[in-house]
Amino acid sequence: MKSCLVLIDAQQSFRHRPYFTERDVPAYLAAQNALIEACQQRGVPIVRIFHVDGPKTAENSFALESGHVRPLEGLAPVEAAATFHKSRHSALVGTGLDVWLTQNGVGRLVISGIRTEQCCETTARHASDLGFQVDYVTDATLTFDMKHEDGSPLPAADIKARTAAVLKDRFARICSVPQAIDRLATPA
């Protein structure tokens, strides 16, 4: 089965948000770059997704006008097979990605990028519902600390663990980077 790496929202825009922290970025970049390089070496297509939303002003880091809708600094160079802009959580809503995947005979999506529990998780669920097999590479996703309703902290590590738990065996196969790389050569 043909695989495709879906690189979701790994963009400079996040560095301009108040919740952004560099704490987990080095580990994320190491994992993401290893996955990118493995896909490039094996001829696995890489689809780049950029989130574009909100007011079309230079002050909005998710607007093209800001100049921040570009690859996250530190990300390995990617020669994308296709690039899509999205304005919803799922990379499969209103982008044409599903059409591109079907036209290119892709049956398995390798999901990675930013944010673990939002656009990455939503895309994984949507892809599964559309009939794609999904490999969700948790260590090649990045998210940030949040707060519960009562104001208590919700660490990024807990968010990632929760995402893996709710996706596992329902919507996706949860993979480490080495496991995802091994599966690139394995038919489903």
Q: Work out the burial of residue 56: count CB atoms within 10 Å of its CB; fewer than 13 is exposed, 13-18 middle, 19 or more buried.
A: exposed
User: What does the pLDDT look like over 26-76, one tens digit per residue?
Assistant: 999 999 999 999 999 999 999 999 999 999 999 999 999 999 999 999 999
Please say if the pLDDT value at position 15 is more than 70: yes
Coil, helix or strand at residue 31: helix
User: What does the pLDDT look like over 123-156, one tens digit per residue?
Assistant: 999 999 999 999 999 999 999 999 999 999 999 9
Domain range holding 169?
Answer: 2-184
Q: Which two tokens stand for residue 153?
A: 């902290």
Residue 127 belongs to a domain with what CATH number?
A: 3.40.50.850
Q: Which two tokens stand for residue 56?
A: 């079309």
Give residue 174's pLDDT band: very low, low, confident or very high (50, 70, 90): very high
Phi, psi of 154 (to 5 degrees): -125, 95
Q: Which two tokens stand for residue 10?
A: 């790994």
CA–CA dist 123, 137 (Å, integer): 13
Residue 176 and residue 137 in contact, taking contact as beta carbons nearer than 8 Å: yes
Instruction: Count how many domains the chain has.
Output: 1
